[in-house]
Amino acid sequence: MSSTVPKRVERALIGVIVQIFACTMMLFTPESAAAQTLVPAPSTGAVSPTLIVGFVGGFVHKDDLRHSEVLMARQLQASYGKQVEVRIFENRQRGKARQWILDWLNESKNLTTSDNRKTGQIILFGHSWGASAVVYLARELQRAGVPVLLTIQVDSIKKHGEDDETIPENVAEAANFYQPNGILHGLSRIRTADPSRTRILGNWRFQYKKEPAECRAYPWHDRFFFKGHTAIECDPRVWSQVQALIEKRLPPAAPNRTPLWTNNGLLRSADNALSKTNRR
């Protein structure tokens, strides 16, 4: 250093040079290289869509828009767009539904499987045999290590003698809607395998002295032989409540969202209807 440079400035410059050299050497050590790989990548702001899987009952086709579960699925997809992935399956296609969920979780274009499994953003709903398929699928997902956010059963009817009453512990919340009359009538009460892991939201009972007007679109033989069972499927009060339960667990919808179910041209308040229903 030049003699014209003060000693204290000279010492400061030497200190800076030493620090720069030390930091440079640290970048090339194995420990530093390993540590750098643990630094999380910047967030892209991507949000994992909620997977919503519905099952139709009986021998109903998955695209039959006369049926409430199919119509509701279309409304949800139209209202929430890329925030949800909605699929309807026939109740005999449980294996196909399971594979679709697992494939979706493992696709590279989505968030990692571990991220999706931590959030548990999967909702299952169904009517009749489709309602029991909801519980059976939830058990299969439990064996695969996949959590379920919510299950909803509407007039659940056992299929192949399997247990559709006990909700597995991988399900966070579960709800049950039923009617008690006729040849076919739904399960009146669901319970949890582990109360510390699953919350039963309610077992809501409906009675029908007269079928809802919306049932006129249904096949005559269903309305004649299975009155109550068909009535609860076409009842807009029930499905507005089902939709409200689902929507409470979704991010806000787009401003131009499809409205909830209507009855005689008037919007129904799903929240108010739910609070007034006979809860058991």
pLDDT tens-place string over residues 132-150: 999 999 999 999 999 999 9
Q: What is the mean pLDDT of residues 167-194?
A: 94
pLDDT for position 113: 45
Query: Can you give the residue ranges of every domain in the chain?
Result: 7-36, 50-276
Q: What is the mean pLDDT of residues 40-59?
A: 72
Task: Give yes or no for a contact between 223 and 215, defined as CB atoms under 8 angstroms apart.
Answer: yes
Check residues 270 and 247 and name the one with the higher pLDDT: 247
pLDDT of 194 strictly over 50: yes
Look up residue 199 and give its two tokens. 């919350």
87: phi then psi, degrees, rounded to nearest 5: -135, 140
Q: What is the mean pLDDT of the chain?
A: 78
- Element holding 279 (H helix, E strand): none
Task: Give yes or no for a contact between 56 and 88, defined as CB atoms under 8 angstroms apart.
Answer: yes
* Burial call 185-214: b when 16+ CB within 10 Å, e when fewer: bbbeebebeeeeebebbbbbbbebeebbeb
Give the distance from CA 54 to its chain's centroid: 10
Q: Which of 146-150, 156-160, 184-188, 272-276 has the lowest mean pLDDT?
A: 272-276
Q: Which of 126-130, 242-246, 250-254 has the lowest mean pLDDT?
A: 250-254
pLDDT for position 8: 52
pLDDT of 120 strictly over 70: no
Check residues 37 and 110 and name the one with the higher pLDDT: 110
Task: Give yes or no for a contact between 16 and 86, defined as CB atoms under 8 angstroms apart.
Answer: no
pLDDT of 272 strictly over 50: no
Q: Residue 158: how many CB atoms within 10 A of its CB?
A: 15
- Which residues have CB under 8 Å from 138's CB, separation 6+? 124, 148, 151, 167, 168, 170, 171
Instruction: Report the C-alpha gap between 236 and 177 in whole angstroms.
Output: 13
pLDDT of 128 strictly over 60: yes
**Considering Cα of 75, then 227, then 63, then 139, what sign does the dihedral take?**
positive
Check residues 213 and 138 and name the one with the higher pLDDT: 138
pLDDT of 274 strictly over 90: no
Give the confidence band of 223 by pLDDT, cuts at 50, 70, 90: confident
pLDDT for position 92: 95
What is the architecture of the domain spanning 50-276? 3-Layer(aba) Sandwich (3.40)
Cα radius of gyration rounded to whole Å, the chain:
27
pLDDT for position 183: 84
Percent of the chain with pLDDT over 90: 52
Give the confidence band of 258 by pLDDT, cuts at 50, 70, 90: low
- Which residues have CB under 8 Å from 169's CB, separation 6+? 142, 192, 193, 194, 197, 198
Instruction: Report the C-alpha gap between 83 and 140 in whole angstroms.
Output: 25
pLDDT for position 6: 57
Helix, strand, or coil (residue 154): strand
pLDDT of 7 strictly over 70: no
Give the confidence band of 19 by pLDDT, cuts at 50, 70, 90: low
SS (H, E, C) 50-93: EEEEEEECCCCCCCCCCCHHHHHHHHHHHHHHHHEEEEEEEHHH
pLDDT for position 222: 79
Instruction: Report the C-alpha gap between 260 and 233 in whole angstroms.
Output: 16
pLDDT for position 273: 39
Instruction: Report the C-alpha gap between 217 and 154 in whole angstroms.
Output: 19
